[in-house]
Structure 1
Amino acid sequence: MILEVFGGAAIAALTSLIACRVLISAGPIDRPTLARHEHKNPTPTSGGLGIALGFAAGIMALALVLPTIVPVEMTTRGAVLLSITASFAYAFLLIGFWDDTHQLGALIKFALFAALAVAATLAIGPVDAFPFGTEVRHAPYALALAGTALWIFVMVNAVNFMDGANGLAMGSVGIGFVALGAIAFARDSPASLAICLCAVGALLGFLYWNFPSGKLFAGDSGALFIGALAALASIMIIRRTDLSPLVPAIIFFPLLADVLVTLAWRVYRRHSLLDGHSEHIYQILIRGGMSHAEIALTYWAAMAVCGGIGFLVSRDPGVSPWVALPIMAFLAIVISAVVRRFADRRGVGGV
């Protein structure tokens, strides 16, 4: 099975690579007119379409071979969840592409995100089981529904907010997919593994043009598609393998921490959460003199560490995630405070 899935990932990578090259010449252009933009020159911003095409090609190729190597009842159940996951990810892609070309308002986007997140949760089913020690505790349905939809909403926005330096968000999520794929393989979930590795392949095809040169951006279409795919794949793996719901949060922690700590900082300073800004840690580091490549590699390293931690704690779902996540949250707050104080002393501004 694993060789076939890697073959699908290779098809995804090649398709994405070719599609992205075409889109550099044919796609819409991102012009740096907003304060939060970290680039200076107009740049093609349709890379998300190339990523989505690559992912679709890989999944369709695998759809032809998986039923021949995996029991039919397993592929049928997995195929249903895979289809739902992909459908909602492509719905987010369409919103992102419309925003790339027509500039949707923040409130409209958030309303659409929330509606899609709730609809996806109802379609896939909410996550309500939380292993703790030797017990499994179940959340009430309404709370599970709200929590699962919130996870999708937060992940989509987190990837979108962090997609401001070449390679940072897309490479980081790719590493997260590798960790999720390792868990899916260890827990014998072929459909989940297929999603993860085809996503990795599609991202690699895009990153060839994006990192470090920045010849092509993913755009909102790519950020929303990949953010939704990561969130929904996490839910799929949780529901298929009884994985602790805390593990995906650990895997994607570097992205989530930057966004959530920054939002908390803005609330503390009584700044609007709907206004564009440049107060994320990675944006402060850019103003402090680090290159896009250096920042991306730093986040990739952090993602690799968190992905490893996520894989390890997934093998002890009872207690380990509940211990690891608070420690990581504390470290994120400390790092944020240190970076902001350093930036303030250097007069970087915007903190």
Structure 2
Amino acid sequence: MIEELAGGAAIAALLSLAVCRIQMRAGPVDAADETHKTHARPTPTSGGIGIALGYTAGLIAMAQLFAPADLLNRQAEALISLASAFAFVFLLIGFIDDTRPIGPRFKFLLFALLSIGASITMGIVDALPIRENETLKLGLSLGLLGTALWVFVLVNCVNFMDGANGLAMGSMVVGLSALAAIGYANGSNTVLAMTICAAAALIGFLVWNFPRGKIFAGDSGALFAGAVAAIASLILIARADLSPFIPPILFMPLLADALLTLAWRVRHRRKLLVGHQEHFYQILIRAGWSHARVSLLYWAVMALCGAIGYALSQSQDVSAPWIALAAAAGLSLAVSIFVRKYARTHGMS
């Protein structure tokens, strides 16, 4: 099985690399914007097209050219096709937005409908394990709301964080790799194939994006990567008995930066839909850090979260995941307060 996974991943990475190289000449182009963007010159974008094509080619190779029947059976292939369909709709919306910006309210509606559809299709999380033999029952309505909110939030947070070379897409490589490891350990070949191909395709893109930023993933790439991760998480929860508290731990650095920045803006009565440079990573860049240094920091923290999430997925302690998630959220809040205080005292707010 290792050879089949490696072969599919190699195809995903190589095709993504090749298509992104073509896009560097063909466009579309992301114009520089001093309001909330960190690049100084127009740059090719929508690298998500190359990422998605690489991902698809890798999966086809695993299913048709390399994989034995025990890796991807017909049921797994059908589930992957359905899950990928939702990710591709997010990709399409992102590509349209890259070329001809869509109104924020209309995008909100589209994302909400897609998130609800993915939740119903992949499996609604209607119960939260608290401790041994004790489960918090959410019910169908609240469960659907929470599950759809997970998809909606992760997809948008990845998009919000895609503002420094390699930061969001490299972080997603780490997060998807952690999901792949959990899928392998928990016997979910569906998630293993999806996440391996997605991570490999992102690596092909990163050859051009990190550290020099020759092409950006664009909304298409960020939304696609976020959707694959969110939906793969739901598959693990529904079909591999993964604690629903673990996926947020895997992606905590991206979630914490995006959500706490939004909360800070709400507290200071600033418009949420207006571009800004108030994320943690943007503060670090204003402090003199290079894009590469900032991205490597996020990758390292993502790797730590991935290791913790994997360990928790193999633990028999039912209460450990939610305790770890609460601790991670508390630590993130403390870091947020420190970073913003530092920025204010050094005139970077």
User: Which deviates further from its counterpart, 109-118 or 134-143?
Assistant: 134-143
Per the alignment, residue 112 of structure 2 pairs with 114
Q: Give CA deviations for 1:103-147 in whole Å, capped at 9, x if unaligned.
A: 112111111111111111122221224233222624201111111
Deviations 1:148-182, CA, capped at 9 Å, x for gaps: 11001001100000000000000001100111000
Q: CA deviation at 1:3?
A: 2.3
Residue 23 to residue 272, structure 1, CA distance change in 2 (3 Å): same
Report the Cα offset of residue 34 of structure 1. Answer: 5.6
Partner residue, 2:274 = 275
Report if aligned partners of 2:157, 2:258 keep a CA contact under 8 Å in 1: yes
1:153-172 matched pairs, under 5 angstroms: 153-172=152-171
Does the 8 Å contact 1:170/1:223 carry over to 2?
yes
Aligned residue number for residue 90 of structure 1: 88
Q: Map 1:182-261; keep pairs closer than 5 Å.
A: 182-261=181-260
Deviation at 1:66, TM superposition (A): 6.9
Q: Distance in 2 between matches of 1:133 and 1:120?
A: 28
Please tell me the residue identity of whatever aligns with 2:163.
G
* Residue 277 of structure 1, CA deviation: 1.6
The residue aligned with 1:57 is 57
- Secondary structure of 1:131 counterpart: strand
Per mean C-alpha deviation after superposition, the further-off stretch among 192-201 and 131-140 is 131-140
| 1:81 equivalent among 49, 56, 79 | 79
Question: Counterpart of 1:339?
Answer: 339
| Counterparts of 1:308 and 1:300, CA distance in 2 | 12
Shift in Å, 1:294: 0.5
Pair 1:294-2:293 in alignment: yes
Which is worse superposed, 129-138 or 75-84? 129-138
CA RMSD of aligned residues (A): 1.4
Indicate the SS of the match to 2:128: strand
TM-score when normalising by structure 1: 0.96
Identity over the aligned pairs, expressed in percent?
Answer: 53
- Take 1:86 and 1:2, find their aligned partners in 2: how far apart are those partners? 23
CA distance in 2, matches of 1:335, 1:38: 22
Q: Supply the distance in 2 between the matched residues of 1:136 and 1:209 (Cα, whole angstroms).
A: 49
Unmatched segments (≥5 aa) in structure 1: none
1:286 and 1:292 in contact (8 A); partners too: yes
What is the CA deviation profile of residues 56-96 of structure 1, one whole-angstrom value per residue up to 9, with x for unaligned ones?
1001111115763317xx72332222111100000000000
Counterpart CA distance in 1 for 2:150 and 2:29 is 31
Could you tell me which residue of structure 1 aligns to residue 21 of structure 2?
Answer: 21
Q: Provide the rounded CA distance (Å) in 2 between the counterparts of 1:123 and 1:23.
A: 33
Distance 1:27 1:335 in 2: 38
Q: 315-324 or 205-214, which moves further after superposition?
A: 315-324
Alignment partners' CA distance in 2, 1:108 and 1:94: 14
For residue 343 of structure 1, report the CA deviation from its aligned partner.
Answer: 0.9
Query: For residue 103 of structure 2, what is the amino acid of its counterpart?
Result: G
Write the deviation string for residues 323-344 of structure 1: whole angstroms up to 9, x where unpaired. 1111111111111111111111
Letter aligned with residue 267 of structure 2: Y
Kept in 2, the 8 Å contact 1:67–1:75? The answer is no
* Separation in structure 2 between the aligned mates of residue 128 and residue 180 of structure 1, nearest angstrom: 21
Secondary structure of the structure 2 residue equivalent to 1:132: strand
How far apart, CA to CA, are the structure 2 residues paired with 1:116 and 1:348?
38
Q: How does 1:21-40 map to 2 (within 5 A)?
A: 21-33=21-33, 35-40=35-40
Equivalence for 2:327? 327
Partner of 2:122: 124
Q: Partners in 1 of 2:333 and 2:106 — Cα distance?
A: 31
Distance in 1, matches of 2:296 and 2:45, equals 22
Q: Contact 1:117/1:152 (CA < 8 Å) preserved in 2?
A: yes
Report the Cα distance in structure 1 between the residues aligned to 2:198 and 2:133, rounded to whole angstroms.
34
